[in-house]
Amino acid sequence: MRSPLIPLATLLTLGCLAWGAAASVPATRPGARGVQLSDLDWLAGTWVHEEQGALLEETWTRPAGDCMVGMFRWLNAGKATLFELMTVETDAQGELVFRIRHFSPGLRPWKSEAGETTTYPLADITETGFVFANPEGKDARRFVYDLDEEGALHIRVELAEGEPYVFELRRAEG
């Protein structure tokens, strides 16, 4: 008689392996409807890029309640150039939206962003990232976040006019 523990142990092992993989890579979703804030948990933490005296750093909190909060800072030769405050929130319809504000040193808000904050609804989510898009955005139209096979985070900010900004950051150690 064959032991039922062997198939059970196999199922448990496969389940643990699948859970471990899911914890490090975003969930697969067809489109953006029904995505939960917890699906973006992999983004939490600090991501950095250093090159030729410049430091780019983006830090995200873990999802809690109906939001995640992010901070971005850009330093050149040790001096602040730009700050961003970002949120991913669940809106009144239960959908995820991205909001962003830019600040100059001294925490002075950009004049071009006076008034209402532009909201970017979640447009797509894949196995390796997500897209927030608003075709009516003043400057930026799409924010594309994607993890590559080596764990680097690629952020592409597609503009209304001109070339997109593309950043490659790696998870900070420690």
For 151, the token pair is: 């764990």
Smallest CA-to-CA distance from 70 within 45, 38, 105 is with: 45
List the chain domain ranges.
Answer: 27-171
Going by the DSSP 8-state scheme, the letter that residue 30 receives in this structure is S
Query: What is the C-alpha separation between 128 and 27, in angstroms, rounded?
Result: 8
Q: What is the pLDDT of residues 53-109, one digit of tens each?
A: 999 999 999 999 999 999 999 999 999 999 999 999 999 999 999 999 999 999 999
pLDDT tens digits, one per residue of 38-47: 999 999 999 9
Q: How far apart are the first and last CA of the chain?
A: 51
- Condensed to tens digits (0 to 9), the pLDDT of residues 25-40 reads 343 344 467 789 999 9
Residue 128, CA distances (Å) to 27, 73, 151 in order: 8, 24, 10
Q: Is 0.95 topped by the overall pTM?
A: no
The CATH-assigned architecture of domain 27-171 is Beta Barrel (2.40)
